[in-house]
A and B are shown apart, each in its own frame.
Chain A
Amino acid sequence: MSEYITHDMTGNTVGKVEKKFFTFAEPPNEMILDSKAKLGPITIAYETYGTLDKNRDNVVLVLHALTGDSHAAGYYSENDDKPGWWDNMIGPGKGIDTDKYFVVCANVLGGCMGSTGPMSVNPKTGRPYGMSFPFVTIADMVRTQKALLDHLGIDKLLSLIGGSMGGMQVLQWAIQYPEMVRSAIPLATTMRHSALGIAFNEVARQAIVADPNWNNGDYYEGKKPDMGLSVARMIGHITYLSDEAMRRKFGRRLQDKEDFSFNFEADFQVESYLRYQGAKFVERFDANSFLYITKAADYFDLARQDTSGSGIQVFSRSKARYLVVSFTSDWLYPTYQSRDMVKAIKKSGLDVSFCEIEAEWGHDAFLLSSERLTNLVKGFLESVYNDIRK
């Protein structure tokens, strides 16, 4: 996902928010991961917005994408220049209305925004895990979120919502803890990561690994693999846009010059944009986290989790109502992948709504302010909310 975060001009916001931490799985009760490795203690960074009902049945869990974090809405301080990454969707009167719902968003396991990941210190060695950090999966991320909700005393989710890799977690949740999930909103996502998606991730990972500063993941005391990580980010940004989006946004326009420079500086606006995005990203993201999280996305294949290998079988464990949304110009998670998902959900006998939104901004469309998406989410959530009150 990109960084489109801007101030909400309406001034409508959840206001000041605080990042909190929850630590669990203290040895000897470590969490056992899909890879069979043990990990503990685990810290999960999270934020909440809105108020939890007495009945504790107004909870919406927001799952972030690859490079997101727990800061989905609001501001940390008055001088904060930017709100959380989904401030256009979460807030009073917005798509996910914080006057009605209690919203929880946690940083994923393996991340670098407060949750345990490869840059965290391994208590056994006193040094950052680096490459000794165990491999994590989408299901492992979901396990840690379940532990967090247990800690918060929440045993039912009104809904789960997330785009891209956040959508993978939405789907995983619905089949891993079916009793807890009343409804699910996977956006711009897939039941299984495609060869195209894996290919882009692999090129991005190779860019990091090829950076001499990467030093087999052991760089926390020296120079970081900034070049590798910024190239990885540049590749990501290409996949988040679309041919049309790039044509409209940049075309062949030159950056601050009248003619070609005949050197390898950034001549074109699109080059300058990618370099800028890459440079900005390395300030906030850890290269090892990028390696681990992209691998988790690549491993994701929902149907593989049932012995039958059938998407229909795997969804029939779920009891949720679904709202699936795709975007016309998304070539990273194209509409046919959402349609496959809808077909499997339908055939498993569950209620599913599906809408393909006409959008020119590619995969990033799910993050951008859109009245259409806001109304879909709002209407769907209200309907689920009203159903439990019948």
Chain B
Amino acid sequence: MISENNANLRFDLQVIASWIEPGSRVIGLGCGEGELLHYLKKHKNIRETGVEIMEERVATCIAKGLTVIQGDISEEIADYADNTFDYVILSQTLQQVYQPLELIHEMMRIGRQVIVSFPNFGHWHIRGQVLFRGIAPVTPQLPYQWYDTPNIRILSIRDFREFSRRVNFRIIREVAIDSDNRNRFGKITRFLPNLRATYGIFLISRK
């Protein structure tokens, strides 16, 4: 899965990159500075689009030669026709979305396959802080205090599986990983993922 040329990519992005078929049409929602899209464009010859709200990040992406639109993902996504993309990627952004249900539906409308990754709030470190110290959790993956966090949705890997049954979408692949937010190294967590993994990554599609 992890080849030599993706070793500079953050670990969770390496996992996502390994799922993308070469030559596909990919949209990255909340694409940040375009690390993943840039990698995929260079190594997998994808046709990319990114959406990002921060001017500085958008400018960084465009300066790298990526096609990126500055805007709000919930608004920008509405302009695309059904099945425009092979993959729609929402990387570590779901926990910050106001209307996740609508967004998931929209993502599955414009793309054949959807990749969602999010920090796992079921991790033992978080559980421990709430249970033993009685405080809102602060971890390397979720470094914010309760008053300045952009993360308004608290979900775990188990929650997302439950969500798939309720909203009725298909989970094609799922990987739980233990990795730092900025880390190039990490490992896949197979044993007790909801307790031991820091991130969940899902490949989903319409049923």
B55 within 8 A of A: yes
A343–B55 touching, CB < 8 Å: no
Contact partner of A353 (CB less than 8 A), chosen from B67, B79, B81, is: B67
Known A346-B80, A356-B55, A358-B55: A351·B63 in contact at CB below 8 Å: no
Known A346-B79, A346-B80, A347-B79: A356·B62 in contact at CB below 8 Å: no
Which residues of the partner chain A approach B137 to less than 8 Å between Cβ atoms?
Answer: none
A375–B67 touching, CB < 8 Å: no
A49 within 8 A of B: no
Of A146-154, A205-213, A379-387, which binds chain B?
A: A379-387
B189 within 8 A of A: no
A383–B65 touching, CB < 8 Å: yes
Closest to A312 in B: B79
A353–B80 touching, CB < 8 Å: no
Known A372-B59, A375-B59, A376-B59: A354·B69 in contact at CB below 8 Å: yes
Known A343-B79, A346-B80, A347-B79: A354·B71 in contact at CB below 8 Å: yes
B62–A355 touching, CB < 8 Å: yes
**Size category, A interface:** 20 to 34
Identify the interface centre among B47, B58, B59: most chain A CB within 10 Å of its CB: B59
Known A355-B55, A358-B55: A346·B69 in contact at CB below 8 Å: yes
B49 within 8 A of A: yes
Number of A-B contacts (CB under 8 A): 56
Compute how far the CA of A358 lies from the CA of B70 in the bound complex, rounded to whole angstroms: 12
Known A346-B79, A346-B80: A379·B65 in contact at CB below 8 Å: yes
Q: Which of B42-78 contact A (CB under 8 A)?
A: 47, 49, 55, 58-59, 61-71
B67–A321 touching, CB < 8 Å: yes
Compute how far the CA of A342 lies from the CA of B68 in the bound complex, rounded to whole angstroms: 11
Contact partner of A382 (CB less than 8 A), chosen from B65, B68, B81, is: B65
Which residues of the partner chain A approach B71 to less than 8 Å between Cβ atoms?
Answer: 339, 354
Compute how far the CA of A353 lies from the CA of B51 in the bound complex, rounded to whole angstroms: 9
A376–B63 touching, CB < 8 Å: yes
Compute how far the CA of A219 lies from the CA of B164 in the bound complex, rounded to whole angstroms: 77
Which residues of the partner chain B approach A358 to less than 8 Å between Cβ atoms?
Answer: 55
A303 within 8 A of B: no
**Size category, B interface:** 10 to 19
Contact partner of B65 (CB less than 8 A), chosen from A346, A352, A354, A386, is: A386
B69–A342 touching, CB < 8 Å: yes
Compute how far the CA of A383 lies from the CA of B68 in the bound complex, rounded to whole angstroms: 13
Compute how far the CA of A357 lies from the CA of B70 in the bound complex, rounded to whole angstroms: 10
Known A346-B79, A356-B55: A323·B69 in contact at CB below 8 Å: no
Which residues of the partner chain A approach B64 to less than 8 Å between Cβ atoms?
Answer: 379, 383
Which residues of the partner chain B approach A383 to less than 8 Å between Cβ atoms?
Answer: 64-66
A56 within 8 A of B: no
Contact partner of B62 (CB less than 8 A), chosen from A346, A347, A349, A379, is: A379
Which residues of the partner chain A approach B59 to less than 8 Å between Cβ atoms?
Answer: 355, 357, 372, 375-376
Closest to B56 in A: A372
Closest to B80 in A: A346
Closest to A354 in B: B69
Which residues of the partner chain B approach A375 to less than 8 Å between Cβ atoms?
Answer: 59, 63
Which residues of the partner chain B approach A343 to less than 8 Å between Cβ atoms?
Answer: 79
A378 within 8 A of B: yes
Closest to A339 in B: B71
A353–B63 touching, CB < 8 Å: no
B55–A353 touching, CB < 8 Å: no
Compute how far the CA of A349 lies from the CA of B67 in the bound complex, rounded to whole angstroms: 13
Compute how far the CA of A321 lies from the CA of B80 in the bound complex, rounded to whole angstroms: 17
Nearest chain B CB to A361's CB is how many angstroms away? 16
Which residues of the partner chain A approach B68 to less than 8 Å between Cβ atoms?
Answer: 353-354
Compute how far the CA of A142 lies from the CA of B63 in the bound complex, rounded to whole angstroms: 29
**3 nearest interchain CB pairs?**
A383-B65, A379-B63, A375-B63
| Cross-chain pairs A/B with CB under 8 angstroms, 5 sampled | A353-B61, A356-B70, A376-B62, A379-B64, A383-B65
Given contacts A342-B69, A354-B58, A386-B65, 19 further A-B contacts (CB under 8 A): A346-B79, A346-B80, A349-B81, A351-B47, A351-B49, A351-B67, A353-B58, A353-B61, A353-B67, A353-B68, A353-B69, A354-B68, A354-B69, A354-B71, A376-B59, A376-B63, A379-B63, A382-B65, A383-B64
